[in-house]
Amino acid sequence: MNAAPESKTNLLGLDRPALAEFVAGLGEKPFRARQLMTWLYKRRVEDFSAMTDLAKSFRERLDAIAEIRLPQIITEHASADGTRKWLLRAGPALGAVGGDQAIEMVYIPEPGRGTLCISSQVGCALDCSFCSTGAQGFNRNLGTAEIVGQVWLANKLLGVADDGARAVTNVVLMGMGEPLANYRNVLPALSLFMDDLAFDLSRRRVTLSTSGLVPQIYKLAEDTNVALAVSLHAPNDELRDELVPINRKHPIGELLEACWHYLDAQNGRSITFEYVMLDGVNDLPEHAIELASLLRGRDAKVNLIPFNPFPGNSYRRSGREAISRFCDLLHARGITTTVRRTRGDDIDAACGQLAGQVADRTTVRLGSKRIPLVVQP
Ligand code: SAH
Ligand code: SF4
C-alpha cells in the first residue's frame, strides 16, 4: 500500500548529500542520486515512472515513499513591463489551526538576464517599519522544498528563450521573509541553486538579502559563498533602530564588522547595501554623507530603493531630486551607487509589496512590543 501523501519525502527538499543519504537508505548505489538529480533538475520530470534508466522496482519504491511536489499557483499577474508575479499557496503550519497561507514570487526580465525574487518565510517577524510583509507579522518558515520549488516552478513556467538561454539566470532572496531567520531550510536551497547537477547558477547569481542577523552572517561565511545584500536603510543607530528594529539587538558597527568578515572569508567582490528612500526620513544630504563615511574604502555598493507605499503606512517615497542628490553625494565620495528601477508597479510586484496572505499569523513583532526574538539555528 502506498504511504499517505503527507508522509512522503519531497525530493525538492534534499540537497545533494541528503539525497545521497536518502538513496543509500533504500539500499541503492550513490550514482542513483546523480541520476535522480538529472531527471529532477535537468529534464524537469515530475513523474518517477518516466525515469526510464532507473530500475522499475526502484521507481515503484520511490513512488510509494517520495514525491516531487511543487508550490500550487493561486493567481498569476503579468505587468506591462514584462514583470510577472505569482501568488503561491503555502499550506498552514503543521498543527496550526486556520486556513492556507500564501507567498509571492516575482520574475523580472531585463536585457541579458532574468531575475527571480523568491520568498523564504510566510510573513516576517522583524517588523521593519516600511515593509508590508513585516506589517503582517510572522506565520512560519518555508521548508527547503518550498523554497527550491519556487525556482523549479518558475523554470517550468518560463521555459527557455528562443536562443536556448535560461529564463531564470539570477535568484534573489528578496521576497517575503528574512532568509537568515530560516537558516536551516535556506542553506540547502542555496546549495541546490549552485549545484551543477541542479540549477547550476554561479555564486554571483544567487543573492541573499538580510536585514542584519549578525550571528547568522558569520555562520553563512562558513557554510556558503553566495552574494550578500544587506538592508541598511539608515546611516546611524538612532534612525536604524526606528526603521529596522533588529538594529537594537545588532547595531550598525557590529553588522558592518560581520559584513567585512563575510567578504574576507568568501573572497567576495563586494556587498550591496540596500537603502530604501523615505521622504524626509533618511534621504537628507547629511544622511548620504554619514553613509559614505561608513562605507568609504570598503568593497561596498549602495542600491537606493525608492519606497513602495502600501495601505496603512504613512511614509512617502522620496522625490526624484532627493534621490539623485543622494546618489550624487555618494558617487562624489567614491561609493558605487545605483537606483533600483521600480518594476511591476501596476501589479504590486515591487520590493516590500510582496504581501501574500498571512491568515493565521502569530503576530510576533519587535517594533512595538519588543518581544525577544529567537531565531534559528
Ligand atoms: N528580509 C530581507 C529580504 C526581504 S526584503 C531583508 O530585509 O533584506 C527585500 C528588500 O526590500 C529589503 O531591502 C527591504 O528592506 C526592502 N523593502 C521592504 N519594504 C519595502 C518598501 N515598502 N519599499 C521599498 N523597499 C522595501
Ligand atoms: Fe522582514 Fe525584510 Fe520586511 Fe524587514 S524588510 S520586515 S526583515 S521582510
214, 258 contact by CB (below 8 A): yes
Q: What gap in Å lies between CA 86 and CA 74, rounded to an integer?
A: 7
Burial 311-322 (b: 16+ CB within 10 A, else e): eeeebebbeeeb
Counting ligand 2 atoms within 8 A of each CB, the residue from 127, 209, 246, 366 with the most, and so the one to mutate, is 127
The pLDDT value given to residue 174: 95
> What whole-number percentage of the chain has pLDDT above 70?
86
Counting ligand 1 atoms within 8 A of each CB, the residue from 121, 209, 339 with the most, and so the one to mutate, is 209
Which residue type sits at 242?
E
- Cell (9 digits) for 253: 558597527
Active site annotation includes 104: yes
Q: Is 176 helix (H, G, I), strand (E, B) or coil?
A: coil
User: Does the Cβ of 121 fall within 6 Å of ligand 2?
Assistant: no
Distance in Å, CA 211 to ligand 2 centroid: 7
In the chain, the N- to C-terminal Cα span, in Å, equals 37
> What whole-number percentage of the chain has pLDDT above 90?
76
pLDDT digits (tens, 9 = 90+) for 77-133: 998 888 999 999 886 655 555 556 889 999 999 998 999 999 999 999 999 999 999
Distance in Å, CA 210 to ligand 2 centroid: 8
The pLDDT value given to residue 355: 55
Residue listed under C-alpha cell 541553486: 193
User: Does the Cβ of 229 fall within 6 Å of ligand 2?
Assistant: no
Whether the model pTM is above 0.75: yes
The pLDDT value given to residue 360: 47
- Cell (9 digits) for 112: 541579458
pLDDT digits (tens, 9 = 90+) for 315-362: 999 999 999 999 999 999 999 999 988 777 776 666 656 555 555 444
pLDDT digits (tens, 9 = 90+) for 245-280: 999 999 999 999 999 999 999 888 899 999 999 999
pLDDT digits (tens, 9 = 90+) for 19-75: 999 999 999 999 999 999 999 999 999 999 999 999 999 999 999 999 999 999 999
Nearest CA to 355 out of 91, 139, 116, 107 is that of: 139
State the closest ligand 1 atom to the C-alpha of 124, by its place in the atom list counted from 1: 1
Q: Is the pLDDT of residue 201 over 70?
A: yes
Distance in Å, CA 118 to ligand 2 centroid: 13
Mean per-residue pLDDT of the chain? 88
217, 228 contact by CB (below 8 A): yes
State the virtual CA torsion across 143, 147, 148, 151 in degrees, nearest 10: 160
Q: What is the DSSP string of 316-330?
A: -BPPHHHHHHHHHHH
- C-beta neighbour count of 117 within 10 angstroms: 27
